[in-house]
Structure 1
Amino acid sequence: MAQLAYVCEGEPDVAPGAKSCEFPVEGDPSRLVVSLFAESEPVLATMAQDTQIAGLAVRTRRSLTSLLERGGGVLGDIVLVDCPKIDGAHLAALARLDERAARSGASLVVATVADALEDVFGCLDRSRPDILVGATRAQRMVALGGAMARMPGRRLREADEEERIALLRLAEEVERLAAKIDGISGRSSLGVRPEESLSLSRVAQPTQGYRHDDRQSGMQRRTRIPLPDPRLVKSVIRHRAMRAEFFDEALFADPAWDILLDLTAARAEHRRVSVTSLCIAANVPATTALRWISQMVESGILVRVQDDSDKRRAFIALSDGAADAMARYFDAIGTAANIV
């Protein structure tokens, strides 16, 4: 790998030859600051530009592997990472960053590619990061806005749930408009197909609305209903997929339900599901699927299951409560229906 040439603008606090750029943050002490990590100087420069457009201050611009050095520097309130390639050093750096972000409360946004998703996801199990797959600049800006919304009240005025959802909707609209502009020319200047960006903008963002209702009678809790025959679940999935033959598939985008159906079939078959496989099953762009998965894990509907044979790998499964709810759902609609 070629040595990254660091270009420090302004007056960074860095000694000659050091592998990082530390920028003094002046002005409003409540201003959010951002740490940037990437192995490419052009990517770092673009990330810095986007950060400044968002009105945030850049604290550091560093290589990801610099986190393995002693000290590793001070993290900002928000941490943006570009990690398109994975090797042992990058895995170790991501694991350390995950631990530090979880400990400090920094909001972590990591951009990667589909081939590296499994490794990246497996390394980030504590900091509740926003993982972007094949991210465009517009998607990174959306993620940056989401990170700002999640910051604690000491930095930003504490927003209620309605305001948070409004901010997410605004982010969707920004991305939709960006995709429209790209579509006028027939190509995407942001590096994504216009139809893919449009489908992403049509999908509602995950909210705190995911909640499994445990308020059942004592008799109901004692009655364990078995999961449906996996052939029935797969039949439902096939029928849902057939709609795309007659209508625009974005019209029916429902990643949460597609995720639940796929994991229900997998649980009934005693089969483990990787995050990459689940993103495909969600039938939306991977970045969108990951947001839904993250929210559903946080809400207790899904759980991460570490691979005992490879600690760097993690699977996704239904929680016991969600599995029980899916079993009851299929029982309620009639699992005696013909299996086709």
Structure 2
Amino acid sequence: MEDYSNSSPLLWIVTADAALESIVAEIAALAGWRAAPRLAAMDEASTSMPATPPRAILADIRSGSETEPREIAKAAEYAGRHDIAFIVWTDMRRLDEADALADGSDAALLVDPEPAEAVYALTRARSRQGNRAREKRGESRELMRLSDELVEMARRVAALTRDDEGGGVRADPLSYRGAPPGHDGALGAAGAAPTIAPERIREMIRLRRMREDEFASDLFADPAWDMLLDLTASRIEDKPVSVSSLCIASAVPATTALRWIKLMTDRGMLERRADSADARRIFIDLSDETYVRMQRLLGQMLAGQTPPV
């Protein structure tokens, strides 16, 4: 086994894909990490604490990945037991499954990440304790805005070197939002019937997406508001919204959307619940208080003849 005693901090990579392992190792080096091969990582994880403990573990949960689920579960349990950063590298097809696996933990999810996003996540993991302290002081929203701007700037620079545009996830403004198959639960609030037609909220969302046909989307990026609008309309329609669907509704890269979902959940604005028909999926809903506030605010905003954007 290779000696990592002089390496600090140490990152364990849990993947069966040698190509991804190589990519992550290169990205980790840019963020100041030393990556351990997956087999060595899992060998050491079988003990209570290796001679050189890791500061983070990155697990591969992607479509087509051959990584054993038990290895991922073992790594997640190890990270939780020793209070170290746990990062999940996934894609949109398995995002809901990855999110459900990470439910209740501080895991960071990377969804088809640009190198800049991955570097940022690993850099943030190095200062994990410091970030927690700042979040407790109420600075998390501003930190997230700054980090999102830095990632977006890096993405633009990277886009200059290739012909295709950087990868965000956009919603289809006209067709998006149906209930996932097998759903049997109601999300609508008990009591008085909604006073706002969901079609009017969907029109607001459609107009917001139309702006991006003429101008760069980052000029108007406001993922928290886009998600609140979508969740309000979906609740009135009594349709559940999965994590992956909400990321699409945010009109920003999924990794960025996930950070906003976590922030609003931590603040009690959003609530998570398991899909009774599929344990690999989590639904997101507004808290009752947030729903009432959105009804009141949208009622005032939509009082005129022209829907606001």
Which TM-score band applies after superposition, normalised by the shorter structure?
0.7 to 0.9
Deviations 1:65-106 (A, max 9, x none): 959x96597562212223323689744443444344333322
Higher relative contact order (CA 8 A, sep 6+): 2
Considering only CA atoms, is the larger Rg found in Structure 1 or Structure 2?
A: 1
Distance 1:181-1:131 versus aligned 2 partners, 3 A rule: closer
CA deviation map 1:260-287 (0-9, x unaligned): 0000011111110111211111111222
Pick from 204, 213, 216 the counterpart of residue 248 of structure 1: 216
What is the distance in 2 between the residues matched to 1:178 and 1:334?
36
Residues 86/169 of structure 1: CA separation in 2 closer, same or farther (3 Å cut): same
Deviations 1:173-227 (A, max 9, x none): 36624632541x434xxxxx44447x9xxxxxxxxxxxxxxxxxxxxxxx98946
Q: Does 1:271 align with 2:239?
A: yes
Partner of 1:81, secondary structure, is: strand
- Contact 2:31/2:120, CA 8 A, preserved across alignment: no
Contact 2:148-2:256 at 8 Å conserved across structures: no
Partner of 1:25: 5
Mark the runs of 5 or more structure 1 residues left unpaired by the alignment: 1-10, 13-22, 188-192, 200-222
| Structure 2 equivalent of residue 304 of structure 1 | 272
**How far apart, in 1, do the equivalents of 2:287 and 2:70 lie?**
29
TM-score, normalised by the number of residues in structure 2: 0.75
Percent identity between matched residues is 30
Task: Describe how 1:1-340 pairs up with structure 2 within 5 A.
Answer: 12=2, 23-26=3-6, 31-58=8-35, 60-62=36-38, 66=42, 76-85=54-63, 90-149=68-127, 151-152=128-129, 169=146, 172-173=149-150, 176-177=153-154, 179-183=156-160, 185-187=161-163, 193-196=164-167, 226=194, 228-335=196-303
Equivalent-residue separation in structure 2 for 1:242 and 1:178 (angstroms): 23
Report SS of the residue matched to 2:54.
Answer: coil
**8 Å contact 1:108–1:130 — kept in the other structure?**
yes
Q: Which amino acid aligns with 1:331?
A: G
Q: Give a deviation string over 1:4-60, Cα, whole Å, max 9, x none.
A: xxxxxxx62xxxxxxxxxx43337xxx4332221212232233223323322344x4
Verify the 8 A CA contact 1:91 1:123 in the aligned structure 2. Answer: no
Q: Distance in 2 between matches of 1:275 and 1:170?
A: 21
User: What is the TM-score when the length of structure 1 is the normalising length?
Assistant: 0.69
* In 1: Cα distance, 2:279 partner to 2:40 partner: 21
* Aligned residues between the structures: 281
Change over 3 Å in CA distance of 1:175–1:263 after alignment to 2 = closer
Q: Structure 2 vs 1, CA of residues 127 and 101 (structure 1 numbering), >3 Å: closer, same or farther? A: farther
Tell me, yes or no, if the aligned pair for 1:146 and 1:168 is still in contact at 8 Å.
Answer: no
- In structure 2, give the amino acid aligned to 1:186: R
Unaligned runs of 5+ in 2: 171-190
Conserved? CA contact 2:224–2:250, under 8 Å: yes
131 and 181 in structure 1: CA distance in 2 versus 1, 3 angstrom threshold = closer
> What is the aligned partner in structure 2 of residue 190 from structure 1?
none
RMSD over equivalenced CA pairs, Å: 3.7
Contact 1:305 1:314 in 2 (8 A): yes
Preserved CA contact (<8 Å) 2:61 2:67: no
* Alpha-carbon distance between aligned partners in 2 of 1:71 and 1:35, rounded to the nearest angstrom: 14
Post-superposition offset of 1:309: 2.3
Instruction: Work out whether residues 99 and 126 of structure 1, in 8 Å CA contact, stay in contact via their aligned partners in 2.
Output: no
8 Å Cα contact 1:83/1:112 also seen in 2: yes
Indicate if the aligned counterparts of 2:275 and 2:281 stay in contact, CA closer than 8 A: yes
